[in-house]
């Protein structure tokens, strides 16, 4: 079977001095998968000034300064990862300017990801630092879910402090950076209270952006109540295929509250992470038709060195689960009305004016480290 590996990012291709060709770069003969524009066929893709300038059946190489033979490669719009942790630093703690976040550019572009959303690493107290040091300096387009906790994802007691979960400063900061802050995040809360989620939704309502929730570890709260009472349509439940301890599975079957929530318009995000993707949950979910709305990595120091690796590895797992390639790619493209991935700005479009990424096919065996996997296509890997 085929495999795709990151091959090229068409982000910035310097033109040769004196070149008279209309395009800087031509990707010739690749298989373009672009759900937004309804393309699933072999096409030529021309790039000018770092943007997709033309997609057509035949663009002559004479029209480009440089041509790359993309035959046998998949060419897709730049992928979007809506759950990463990129607020790394020396002065903070955990994911909030501490050692657990990663430099985004070092891990995104090489796996076809051109846009990310940081999932709550910063809160309103340290967002300015995150923006100045990292968001504004990254080649990857970095957006952010702002943590309802003022100090963000600082770990330990920082994330349990209800007094630092304030609606107004959080909403104010989101409104101040409308095209960068695309959502509000609540995560890692271990208490029985509902306040973190209620306040996150309150701030999200004021700023008119979605809320993403990692539902913490207190088992007295149910996802049914979260979906029915707290969440609005468009809000995001991340770690969708975790171990079932939050109620994703009941007696080995998918919780009916999830199907009701999907009907309500709640978004289910993978957020793979270091331990938030469990094969048994995924297999049962696919068996019953509980599919994710978005594939995302939960990229951080631990996950990238554990079973997550990178986005193409996650995509491979969904191929192994039986998801068609165009759907795997499609779950990472901006869709019409898809607030989770398009909030605030147009991103990653494959047509004219957007960014592109290409991937190469080759034959690779699926790693044995995919433990407990009832593998359906074990030889397929991206």
By CB under 5 A, name the binding residues for Zn ion. Answer: 119, 298
Question: Which residue's CB is nearer to Zn ion, number 185 or number 360?
Answer: 185
Distances, alpha carbon 239 to alpha carbons 15, 175, 219, in Å: 43, 27, 16
Least CB distance to Zn ion at residue 209 (A): 18
Find, among 155, 105, 164, the residue nearest to 135 by Cα: 105
Structure tokens at 327: 């759907």
Least CB distance to Zn ion at residue 341 (A): 16
Question: Which residue's CB is nearer to Zn ion, number 122 or number 380?
Answer: 122
Hey, CA dihedral for 323, 1, 298, 34, is it positive or negative? Answer: negative
Least CB distance to Zn ion at residue 85 (A): 6
Q: In what order do the strands lie in the sheet with 113-123?
A: 79-84, 113-123, 141-147, 181-186, 211-213, 236-237, 267-268
Find, among 191, 116, 185, the residue nearest to 153 by Cα: 185
Least CB distance to Zn ion at residue 83 (A): 6
- Which residue's Cβ has the minimum distance to Zn ion? 298
Question: Which residue's CB is nearer to Zn ion, number 159 or number 298?
Answer: 298
Question: Which residue's CB is nearer to Zn ion, number 268 or number 366?
Answer: 268
Question: Which residue's CB is nearer to Zn ion, number 243 or number 378?
Answer: 243
Least CB distance to Zn ion at residue 118 (A): 9
Q: How far is CA 84 from the centre of its chain?
A: 7
Question: Which residue's CB is nearer to Zn ion, number 78 or number 101?
Answer: 101
Least CB distance to Zn ion at residue 4 (A): 25
Question: Which residue's CB is nearer to Zn ion, number 112 or number 116?
Answer: 116
Least CB distance to Zn ion at residue 155 (A): 12
């Amino acid at each position: 079977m085929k495999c795709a590996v990151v091959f090229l990012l068409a982000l910035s291709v310097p033109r040769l001095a004196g070149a008279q060709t209309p395009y800087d770069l031509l990707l010739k003969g690749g298989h373009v998968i672009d759900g937004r524009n309804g393309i699933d066929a072999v096409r030529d893709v021309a790039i000018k000034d770092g943007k997709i300038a033309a997609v057509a059946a035949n663009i002559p190489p004479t029209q480009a300064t440089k041509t790359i033979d993309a035959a046998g490669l998949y060419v897709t719009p730049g992928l979007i990862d809506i759950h990463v942790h990129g607020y790394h630093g020396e002065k903070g703690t955990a994911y909030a300017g501490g050692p657990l976040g990663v430099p985004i550019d070092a891990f995104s572009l090489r796996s076809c990801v051109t846009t990310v959303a940081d999932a709550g690493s910063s809160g309103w107290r340290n967002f300015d630092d995150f923006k100045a040091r990292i968001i504004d300096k990254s080649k990857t387009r970095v957006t952010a879910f702002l943590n309802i906790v003022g100090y963000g994802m600082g770990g330990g007691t920082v994330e349990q402090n209800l007094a630092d979960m304030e609606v107004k400063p959080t909403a104010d900061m989101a409104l101040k950076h409308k095209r960068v802050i695309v959502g509000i995040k609540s995560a890692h809360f271990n208490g029985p209270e509902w306040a973190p989620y209620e306040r996150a939704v309150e701030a999200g309502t004021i700023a008119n952006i979605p809320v993403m929730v990692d539902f913490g570890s207190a088992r007295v709260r149910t996802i049914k109540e979260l979906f029915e009472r707290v969440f609005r349509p468009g809000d995001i439940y991340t770690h969708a295929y975790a171990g079932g301890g939050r109620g994703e599975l009941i007696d080995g079957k998918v919780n009916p509250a999830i199907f009701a929530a999907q009907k309500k318009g709640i978004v289910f995000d993978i957020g793979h992470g270091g331990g938030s993707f469990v094969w048994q949950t995924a297999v049962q979910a696919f068996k019953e038709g509980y599919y994710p709305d978005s594939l995302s990595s939960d990229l951080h120091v631990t996950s990238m060195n554990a079973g997550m690796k990178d986005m193409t590895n996650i995509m491979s797992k969904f191929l192994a689960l039986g998801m068609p390639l165009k759907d795997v790619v499609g779950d990472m493209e901006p869709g019409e009305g898809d607030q989770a991935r398009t909030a605030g700005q147009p991103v990653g479009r494959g047509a004219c004016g957007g960014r592109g990424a290409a991937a190469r096919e080759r034959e690779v065996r699926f790693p044995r480290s995919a433990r407990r996997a009832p593998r359906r296509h074990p030889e397929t890997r991206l």
